[in-house]
Structure 1
C-alpha cells in the first residue's frame, strides 16, 4: 500500500470516528463542557468601522481601529494586535473590551483568515505576515509610537517584523507583547494534534498536510459532522483549566471557520521558523512575554527561551493555563499588558 493511501486511509478512519460521534468518552466530555457555567459576554460583538488595507501582493486585509473616546486622556501610543493561526481578530475580545476608548488600538485579520482575502500560492508565510504588519502600520499608524502585541502566529509575525525592521525598535516600536508564541524550534505535529490523529504527526506531518489539502472539503466536512469530537479537541488543546462552554464554542467557531486549505498553506512555515537571533532587538524596549504552563501547542519552554534571549524582558507564567491564555486568564493577561503600556508610555515621555 502506498504512503498516500495509508495517509488517506488513516484520515478516513479519523473522519469515520468523528462522524460516528467518536466514543462514549468523547460524548461524555462534550456534555461536561456544555454544563459549565455559561458566560454572558457577547463574543464577536466588538467591532468598529472596517477598513481595507491592501498588502504588497494585492491581498485585501480587514482592519479595524478603536479610536480614543472623545474627552479621554490623550495617549501617544497605538497598540497593534496580531492574532494567531486559524483564529481572527475577535480572539482579542477581552483585551478589546478592556482598552476600548482608553487607548488607540488596531486589530486586523491576518491574510486568509477572518474577513481578509485569500493569499496567493506561496505567500502564506511568516515572513509575508511580517511584511503585512508593516503595510498595516504604514496605512493606519503612519507616525507615532507603537506597541506590538502578538498571540501564537501573531507573535511570530512580530518576530518576523523585528527581523525585517530591527531599526524600528526603540524608535517607532516602544513596546512588545508576545503571548503563547515562539521564534523557532516548533514541532509542527503539535499544531496538527487538534485536527488529525497523533500517528499522522512527526515526520509524516508535511506529507499528511499536503495530501489532505487536496481533499480539504472532506476535512472541513468531517469537522462539521464530528462536532462533539471537534469541541472536545478544542477544549483540550486551547485551554488548560475548565473554562465556560461559551469560551470553547467561541474558539471552536473560529477554528472551524478557517478552511483546512488555509491551515495547509501556512503549515510549512512553522517547521522552517528559526528567528531567535532576531528577537534580541526587542531588548531595546519594554517587552512582556506571557504563556500558560499547560500550553500544548507552544509550550512554556518557548517563552522561557524568548525571555532568556530578550534582555530586560518580563515573563508571566500563568499556572495551568493553555494556549488561549488571552481568553482563559484574561485578567492576568490584561494586568500584564497594563504594565507594558505604562512602561512604554513612560519611555515615550522620558526617552
Structure 2
C-alpha cells in the first residue's frame, strides 16, 4: 500500500506487479465504496503478472475526507496525478457506477493516456433536474444521519436479493464498505455528481477497445443504459452478467473475471 499526496489530499492506493509489461489496469471504485470492492479482480488479473492499480478516491476509504463538493473532474485529475507520480503513461481504465462516470470524465480529459476502457454498471447521461434534487437531498441526509440508515436501505439494490441470501459474505462486505464511508466524503461526491455533464458525445469519440458490463438485475443502471453505451462506442463489447445486481464483480466474480480477462487479453501489448 502507498500514499500519494496532492495538495492537502492524501490518496491511499495499492500498486500490484509494478514490473509488469502488459498495459496496466487501473480500477475505480463506485459510491459509497472503497478500493476493496475490486479485490477479486486484483487477485485474478494479477496472476498473469499484469500491473493492477487501485486507490481510494478522495473522501472514501483511507484517503483524505473532503467536505463540500467534489466534481468528477477532480476525481479524474487525482487519478492522472497518481499515474504521473508512479511514472505510468498509458492504462486500461475501468470503473463501476460512479467509478464508470469518473472513467468517462478521464476519457474526456485524457484520451491519449488510454489503451482500453471498462465501463461496469454505469450510465453516460447528465443528471436530470429531479436527480440533482435527489442527490443533494441525499447529501444533506448523510450529513445529518450518517451512512448507516442509507446503507441498510440500498443494500438490496446494490446486491440482488437472491445473492444477499446466497452469498452473505458478499452482502456483509458491501454493507461494511457503505457503512464505513465517511459521510462528508460521500456527500461531497453526491453534490459533484449531481452536476456531471452528458458523456454521450464524448463516448462517441472513443477509439480504444471498450468493454461494457452490466448485471442482468441492476436497478440503478439497467441493461438499457449499457446498451446505449454499446451503441455509442464504436466496436465496443457488451457483456450481461446473469443473476447479478449493481455489483456483478462481487456477486458473480468468476463470470466477471472471465469476461474481463478475455477483454484484457485482446488488447495488444504494444500500440
* TM-score, length of structure 1 as denominator length: 0.69
Number of residue pairs matched?
A: 267
Equivalence map 1:271-350=2 (5 Å): 271-273=194-196, 274-282=198-206, 284-344=207-267, 346=268, 348-349=269-270
Comparing 81-90 and 269-278, the one that deviates more: 269-278
1:184 aligned partner:
125
> What SS is found at the alignment partner of 1:285?
coil
2:45 aligned partner:
99
List 4+ stretches of structure 1 deviating above 3 A. Answer: 185-189, 229-233
Q: CA RMSD in A?
A: 2.4
1:3 aligned partner:
none
TM superposition shift of 1:316: 0.4
Q: Any gaps of 5 or more consecutive residues in structure 1?
A: 1-49, 190-201
CA distance in 1, matches of 2:21, 2:139: 47
TM superposition shift of 1:315: 0.4
Q: Closer, same or farther in 2 for the Cα pair 1:270/1:300, shift >3 Å?
A: farther
Q: Any gaps of 5 or more consecutive residues in structure 2?
A: none
> What SS is found at the alignment partner of 1:117?
coil
1:109 aligned partner:
56
TM superposition shift of 1:174: 1.1
TM superposition shift of 1:203: 7.5
Q: Deviations over 1:279-318 (max 9, x none)?
A: 2232x11110000121111222221111111000000012
Comparing 261-270 and 154-163, the one that deviates more: 261-270
Equivalence map 1:101-180=2 (5 Å): 101-102=47-48, 103-119=50-66, 121-122=68-69, 124-143=70-89, 145-166=90-111, 168=112, 172-180=113-121
TM superposition shift of 1:269: 3.0
TM superposition shift of 1:234: 0.9
Q: Is the 8 A contact 2:140 2:187 kept in 1?
A: no
* TM-score, length of structure 2 as denominator length: 0.88
1:237 aligned partner:
158
Structure (1 or 2) with the larger CA radius of gyration: 1
Q: Is the 8 A contact 1:66 1:101 kept in 2?
A: no
Q: Is the 8 A contact 1:78 1:141 kept in 2?
A: no
> What SS is found at the alignment partner of 1:183?
coil
CA distance in 1, matches of 2:116, 2:14: 21
1:29 aligned partner:
none
1:53 aligned partner:
4
